[in-house]
Amino acid sequence: MRWKIIAAGVLLSLAAGCDGPEPVGEATASAVAASPSAIALPAAGMCHAGQSLGVYDYRPVTLNAVDCAAEHQAEIIRVGRLTTPPENKTREVFTDCDTAAREYVGGDWHEGRLGLAIIVPSTQEWIDGVREYRCALFEFFADGHSSRLRTGSLKDGLRGTRPLALTCVEVRATPDGQGWYKTIDHLVATDCAQPHNGEYIGLHTGPDVPHPGMTKLAREVTQVCNTKAATFLGESPSKFQNRTDLRVVMTGGIPDRWRLGDRTARCYILTRPDNRLTKSLKAGP
């Protein structure tokens, strides 16, 4: 599955605690003990190594449980119990994982360099009696891409100094020959003190309605991102609209995830490819 990026209204592809609310069943230790094949699977608070996870994963994964101090791909933040076969993707499961992730890191995980995957039993595991799903949170190297290797827990990553907060990005893209970007391949998270040409500026969450289609969504969210950019820069929306040195893009809005209840898009502001910055564009207080 791929994220989508909207740049100046043009649709572009971007290649690619432990206890929470329990709307879908029993959680963690008691549920794991109840399933004959689940005993080797990681419990909440453990990490997973050996196979990368993607932002839109809702599938079986061969799990390799490791201590979070070791190098790993993702962190299991919650284990819940399915009440329907795993192919019946439900909002309840995503909502459970989404809530657990927010509580775990201390804020909306979309504001961080974070992805959320849902790991469900394989067909054989389901036949064997495994009913547990696992909410797996991970750090990405680029928005919309798979998990990166890391050590240490993600817990509280958006509390206090917010070490996992999404800030500046390096735009890796194909130039359009006119001083901008033709296609954007990666928005790679980086420190704002390092050379970069993009910056995260905020979130937009769409209404709980059927997906409007990517073209209409692109128009709507681009306008929202333009307004956020003006606020971020400390200038009027009309002044920002007339600037030729900056543009906005958004990521998110994929129909499959939207149907599960993830209607959040990230907004970014980009400079031209030849204008690399070493500080934030954010206006002062």
Please give the pLDDT value at position 34: 42
Please give the pLDDT value at position 251: 93
Beta strands in 94-154 (DSSP E): 114-119, 132-139
Please give the pLDDT value at position 202: 97
Q: Please state the separation of Cα 150 from the chain's center in Å.
A: 16
Residues of the chain with pLDDT under 70: 1-40, 285
223 dihedral zone (left: phi>0; alpha: psi -120 to 50; beta): alpha
87 dihedral zone (left: phi>0; alpha: psi -120 to 50; beta): alpha
The phi and psi torsions of 65 (rounded to 5 degrees) equal -75, 130
Please give the pLDDT value at position 40: 61
Please give the pLDDT value at position 285: 65
Share the mean pLDDT of the chain. Answer: 86
